[in-house]
Amino acid sequence: MNQSQQFSVSKERLPGLDLVRVLAVYFIILSHAGFETFRGIGVPFLLALSGFLITNSLLKEINVKKSINTPRFWRNRFLRIAPAYYTFIIAAFILDTVILGDSWENNLLFFAATHTVNYFNALHGHGSGMVAHLWTLSTMEQFYLVYPLLLIGAFKSSRPVTVLITFVALSIGWRMLIYTEIVSFDNKIPWIYNALDTRIDSLLIGSLAAFLLTKKPYASFSLPNWSWLLVMFTAGYGLNLSKSLPDFHYTIGFAFEGSLAIIVMLCIMKLSEAKWLSIVNGKLITNLAKISYPMYLYHPIGLGIGFKLSDNFLFGMLLGTVSILILATISFLVIEKPFMYLRIEHNVKGAFR
């Protein structure tokens, strides 16, 4: 890795990111509950935000240590994701197959156990079971597996941004080949929508945004609040427009939507600095952000409970949201928190070796 290359990565905690994380997950929940306005909105946020946060973290490590400790990175990701994930898989399997009597066909259990639900959906179509939504998480996990190696190679080339842009272009080009049927796939739309090879640009857009903040510090983005509001709603409109244009959406659109998601993210971050939005950086949003991962995991079960308890859609949605929060809180306290301490302990020991 080129040790002469330095990046001015901010050490301060960027504001508003907890709200972005919560909104990304809740947009997905609203979409799966039947709110068409939010269909396809949460995923670009979740993927771009993941790319941004991971890259921001790795750039800090590169600045300090001039390298990336890939074994530690993978161990941390495993301890962060796997315990809650496998607990949910067991719960979903029992609920689907034992209680509801729906069989998991086409080796779905194998795909779920190996974090490849995205390729199950790509091969067999997007199912309606308790684990179909895990394609997004599978895509991110596969990205976490290969991205540190990609970033190390990019830095060795001394032009990391150019390398990442090249991979964005390759992903777009690959999607276009599949969509135009130059390359034949039986389920071309499910493959384009779910597979890592056709969605990696959405994550890399977030990565490029993290690199941008090393060149143009966050504090240098300065506009009046009304301007940030205008930009945010314009970008949000662009997201909705893109998903309604299939020829665009399934070719260039994913990269475009990821870019708009990053713009909305920046707008939320800047607006969160205003006194009238101080709640954005308060304990309520911070605590919701802590349980956003299990909220994502358990939302099909939570929504199912809510709509089972009430035939009224809005009341069912309210009960479903409460159920999701309860399940997510239990998962965080009982499953995730102990492993969080284990992760911190491993990192502290590693720092003194």
d(CA 166, CA 144): 19
pLDDT tens sequence across 119-161: 999 999 887 789 999 999 999 999 999 999 999 999 998 899 9
Of 142, 46, 71, nearest to 347 by C-alpha is 71
What is the SS3 assignment for 14? coil
CA 111, 116, 122, 123 torsion: positive or negative? Answer: negative
- Asked if 31 and 186 touch (Cβ cutoff 8 Å), the reply is no
Greatest alpha-carbon span in the chain: 63
Provide the H-helix boundaries in the chain. Answer: 17-33, 42-65, 70-93, 108-113, 117-124, 135-156, 160-179, 188-194, 196-215, 225-243, 246-248, 254-271, 283-290, 292-309, 313-331, 337-351
What is the SS3 assignment for 51? helix
pLDDT tens sequence across 274-330: 887 778 778 899 999 999 999 999 999 999 999 999 999 999 999 999 999 999 999
Residue ranges, the chain, pLDDT below 50:
3-4, 348-353
